[in-house]
A and B are shown apart, each in its own frame.
Chain A
Amino acid sequence: MMEKIKFGVIVFPGSNCDHDAHYASGQLAGQDSRLIWHKEHSLGDVDVVIVPGGFSYGDYLRCGAIARFSPIMKDVVRFAGKGGIVIGICNGFQILTEAGLLPGVLLRNESLLFVCRNVSIRTENISTRFTGTCQKGEVLNVPIAHGDGNYFAEADTIRKLEENGQVVFRYCDENGRVTKESNPNGSVNNIAGIVNEEGNILGMMPHPERASDALLGLTDGKKIFESIIHSFVSSAQQFAAV
């Protein structure tokens, strides 16, 4: 039997999805999950880091701008640099862009409104460590809750993201069509989630951790946690086969 994957969920002052992420990766996914206070200097022996949603430091200055100076972020950058799996959700995505771990920036929603509802996102790339158990083009139903989720990057950066298959999720309608109407915040090319070039860091505005428990209605988010876990199992099998 495979050892449990160790998830570490960073807790900043103002994080509010930390316990949901902890519950989804721990109790629901059946793995080991721990909360890591932002003042810690070391992640310890975790396999996966979750930078959760919320309003770290009250979103002062810019969303995520202050959180990236928290002591733990140095170790997150180190961990990510050596290929460690990192997932930033909502405010976590904003923090990862501010820390320079992912390209681009999340601007104020085009509508200026805080948007809190379930949306459909299309899985664009299934060969990542976060989407391995999804079908190509699979439409996932997951909630969003943000005021600054309007993904923007320079045209050159967008072109590279598209060419490299780094756009992992795109807002779409329930039939998987990517339309202007299905874009909740004005993101370039309906981008809802991206990975870095190396493929070990994912940032996404939708909340998979809020769509993981059947009791709460939606379960599509679970696929992301399952994919991460599966990616460790398959790499362990590959290792064993060598």
Chain B
Amino acid sequence: MYHSKITIILRKSILDPQGKAVELGIHSLGYTGVANVRIGKCVEMDIDANQRDEAEKISREISDKLLANPIMEDFSISLEEHKGL
């Protein structure tokens, strides 16, 4: 069993007004050295797979087909083996 964490974020070429608004907030807090704030989504799931490769493949397929829209988003996958299940 693997725990998969998929991060979906707007592609660099796409303006992220939400990130910009939060960046303004961060600057208002006094952290003026912070830039390029981007906002995305994080989706977690448990995958019944014996091999890391298999869990990776499933995560990638789900992301390609549903979780991310390739026109506007990129995704990255991080996997952890699930113990005690």
Chain A residues in the interface with B (C-beta under 8 A):
61-62, 65, 69, 98, 104-105, 107-112, 152-154, 186
Contact = CB atoms under 8 A, between A and B. Distances in A.
B69 A98 contact: yes
Given A61-B66, A61-B67, A105 B17 contact: no
B17 A108 contact: yes
22 contacts: A61-B66, A61-B67, A65-B69, A69-B66, A104-B71, A105-B69, A105-B71, A105-B72, A107-B14, A107-B72, A108-B18, A109-B17, A110-B15, A110-B17, A111-B17, A112-B17, A112-B21, A152-B14, A152-B72, A153-B71, A154-B71, A186-B15
A201 B37 CA distance: 37
A104 to B, nearest CB: 7
Interface residues of B, number: 11
Interface of B: 14-15, 17-18, 21, 41, 66-67, 69, 71-72
Contacts of A153: 71
Nearest to B70: A105
Task: With a 10 A CB-CB cut-off, give which of A62, A104, A109, A186 has the most chain B CB atoms.
Answer: A62
Contacts of B17: 108-112
Contacts of B66: 61, 65, 69
The 5 closest A-B pairs by CB, nearest first: A105-B71, A105-B72, A112-B17, A110-B17, A105-B69
Q: Is the interface of A mostly helix, strand, loop or mixed?
A: loop
Q: Is the interface of B mostly helix, strand, loop or mixed?
A: mixed
A152 B69 contact: no
Contacts of A105: 69, 71-72
A69 B67 CA distance: 13
A148 to B, nearest CB: 11
Contacts of B14: 107, 152
A211 B80 CA distance: 53
A65 B65 CA distance: 10
B41 to A, nearest CB: 8
Nearest to A107: B72
B45 to A, nearest CB: 13
Given A107-B14, A111-B17, A112-B21, A62 B69 contact: yes
Contacts of A186: 15
A142 to B, nearest CB: 25
Contacts of A69: 66
Nearest to A109: B17
Nearest to B15: A110
Contacts of B15: 110, 186
A165 B21 CA distance: 36
Given A61-B66, A65-B66, A152 B18 contact: no
A135 to B, nearest CB: 33
A96 to B, nearest CB: 13
Contacts of A154: 71
A152 B71 CA distance: 9
